[in-house]
Amino acid sequence: MTQNQKSRIVLKQKVSLTTLVIGLVCFTLIITVTILILLTFHFKTQSLIETTLNLNSSNAYNMSKSMDRLLRSMKDSLHYSAEVLRNYPQMTTDETNQKLELLRKTSQFFNSIALIDETGRVQSTSPSSLRGLEGTIVTSEAAKEMLKKKASYLSMPFISTTTNRLIVSMSEPIFDENGTYLGYIVGTIYLKEPNVINQVFGSTKIDEYGSYYYVVSSNGYLLYHPKGERIGENVSANPVVNQLIKGRNGKQQVVNLLGVTQLAGYSIVPSTGWGIVVVSPSQLIDSELNQFIKETLFYFIPVIFLSLISALWLSRRLSLPFISLTKLVNQSKNGHSPPKEVRTYINREADLLAMAIDTFIKQTEQYTNNLAREALIDPLTGLLNRRNLEKLMKQWMFESEEFTLLIMDIDRFKKINDTYGHNAGDIILIHLAALLQNTVRKDDICFRFGGEEFVVLIKGTPLSEAYALSEKIRIAFETNENPIGKTCTLSLGLAHYPSQAQEPTELLKLADQALYEAKRGGRNQSCVFEYFLL
């Protein structure tokens, strides 16, 4: 076997350039499409979760408002009846029974109503099935608490010693015309029987995908649940219910006491401290994602197929110059005369293109980094900008971190610009930014809010300490030497989270009102927001 024959055999065992290019293009296309699908799947999942949480939170809030109005109406109904019965000692038992029966049937708020005198003795009842209790002394802790308070009262869920029912009671005191306490009228809701809560809200349909809601008392007991056997269960260990017990509204993904992953929105009923929780099972997200994947594949598979065909065709076209060059070299090697005009192939252009792409990517990365930095950092002062301020406030509020928002404004800044020029104005802004960074504590964060306004978030401090820091900044800016050699002053406004506001925009509004008060009061002073400013 000659050397040429051996060389030909080795060459046949090598992978051709065309095959390598085609394989590389196909591999790149498949990887790109796979990553694209995975990223789309990830963002779709996050979007579905966030949308469901927001929807459940909105539903919980609206239902809590409806529940609050219902409970207020129930209280008003009892209060009216207490006024009607203020002279019940002069009435016969039949008369009081008739009035209680009329109240119960008219309002349909309560399963039963009773009139208790100042000694704790049952005087009248409705419905008539409870008449056997008349003349007995009430002994439950809730009844004793109603007698003791002599005021409006809503009990926690408890099991009645007389009827052995799980109930919630609402009462109103009765006073005669001279203000003498005569006892109270009490309305009772039977939690495990048809009642006003499940009549009004039990038929409320959240959606067709398995979402539902439940109601808990302020101490974590179920007052309503679609599964009636769970009513009265202590669910305070549930993370969402735990947040409600602490008086917080919100939304979160949670694993309930039964081990089921749910997307929950929850809201407090203001008048009672009860909580409304709207939940959607995680299977809802899985179902929608499965549908999304099917639709994505339905549209992607034809595109992928066409792309692969196009890639194969393009790869072949790109490899043709190399094949031509190989033939040309072989022709020369075998003694054949080369063509008079050598074709220009893509080798040099490919190198130039690679360099151009490399340069473009670097420039793009630099441009993107600059854009990202400009989006977060104020280019003049180097401080964080307003977008970072809102993001950090939301984060601290989500973490229940106490802080004070201090907003300040350079007094008569327009006059500085008009007198010394805008360059001098910029120098003063830079001077104030440096002063803030050197004055605040390491945990405090400074921002340029816009124009000549600056903001400092003072972390973990009551208003008194924040006010002291505000005055320190004000005095330092007034007394320290500045670049224009003329005394400049600040007006400052303070507002505190969580005592004065619960949302970033609300807190900014209150601090801005305090700043306005500082300006109106003569400038060069710190002013803490007080509600009388409204």
| CB atoms inside a 10 Å sphere around CB 254 | 19
- Nearest residue to 495 (alpha-carbon basis) of 480, 481, 509, 516: 509
**Token pair recorded at residue 223:** 């007052």
Q: Poorest-confidence range of 28-42, 265-279, 472-486?
A: 28-42
pLDDT above 80 for 374 = no
**Token pair recorded at residue 414:** 């327009």
Beta bridge partner(s), residue 216: 222, 275
| CB atoms inside a 10 Å sphere around CB 442 | 6
Report which secondary-structure segment, H or E, holds 241. helix 239-245
What pLDDT score was predicted for residue 16?
Answer: 60
pLDDT above 90 for 39 = no
**Which percentage of the chain shows pLDDT scores above 90?**
28
What pLDDT score was predicted for residue 224?
Answer: 87
Q: Calculate mean pLDDT across residues 146-150.
A: 88
What is the rounded distance in angstroms from the CA atom of residue 409 to the CA atom of residue 448?
A: 10
What is the rounded distance in angstroms from the CA atom of residue 431 to the CA atom of residue 420?
A: 15
**Contact of 318 with 21, CB cutoff 8 Å:** yes
Directed axis angle between helix 463-479 and helix 422-439, to 10°? 140
Residue 322: band (very low, low, confident or very high) from pLDDT cuts 50, 70, 90: low
Beta bridge partner(s), residue 255: 261
Note the pLDDT tens digit of each residue in 120-141: 898 898 898 888 888 889 888 8
Note the pLDDT tens digit of each residue in 188-244: 998 888 888 877 776 555 555 678 888 998 898 988 888 888 888 899 888 989 999
- Name which CATH class applies to 386-533: alpha beta
Note the pLDDT tens digit of each residue in 427-443: 999 999 999 999 999 99
Beta bridge partner(s), residue 495: 405
Report helix, strand or coil for 144. Answer: helix
pLDDT above 70 for 375 = no
Residue 49: band (very low, low, confident or very high) from pLDDT cuts 50, 70, 90: confident
What is the rounded distance in angstroms from the CA atom of residue 145 to the CA atom of residue 143?
A: 5
- CATH code of the domain made up of 40-299: 3.30.450.20
Q: Calculate mean pLDDT across residues 376-397.
A: 89
pLDDT above 90 for 314 = no
φ, ψ for residue 100, nearest 5 deg: -65, -40
Range of 204-218, 272-286, 365-379, 427-441 with top mean pLDDT = 427-441
- Nearest residue to 184 (alpha-carbon basis) of 246, 137, 114: 114
**Which percentage of the chain shows pLDDT scores above 70?**
78
Q: Calculate mean pLDDT across residues 39-43.
A: 74
Total-model pTM = 0.50
What pLDDT score was predicted for residue 485?
Answer: 84
Q: What are the start-end ranges of the H helices in 138-212?
A: 141-149, 196-200
What pLDDT score was predicted for residue 29?
Answer: 67
Q: Calculate mean pLDDT across residues 109-124.
A: 90
What pLDDT score was predicted for residue 4?
Answer: 59
- In angstroms, what CA-CA distances link 63 with 45, 189, 316, 491, 516? 27, 19, 65, 43, 38
What is the rounded distance in angstroms from the CA atom of residue 397 to the CA atom of residue 502?
A: 8
Output DSSP code: residue 89. Answer: G
| CB atoms inside a 10 Å sphere around CB 514 | 25
- In angstroms, what CA-CA distances link 326 with 3, 17, 254, 330? 19, 11, 65, 6
What pLDDT score was predicted for residue 368?
Answer: 54
What is the rounded distance in angstroms from the CA atom of residue 129 to the CA atom of residue 132?
A: 7
Beta bridge partner(s), residue 145: none
Domain boundaries, the chain: 40-299, 386-533
What pLDDT score was predicted for residue 172?
Answer: 92
What pLDDT score was predicted for residue 25?
Answer: 65
**Token pair recorded at residue 128:** 């008539």
Q: Poorest-confidence range of 30-39, 427-436, 478-487?
A: 30-39
What pLDDT score was predicted for residue 199?
Answer: 79
- Nearest residue to 449 (alpha-carbon basis) of 507, 530, 533, 522: 507
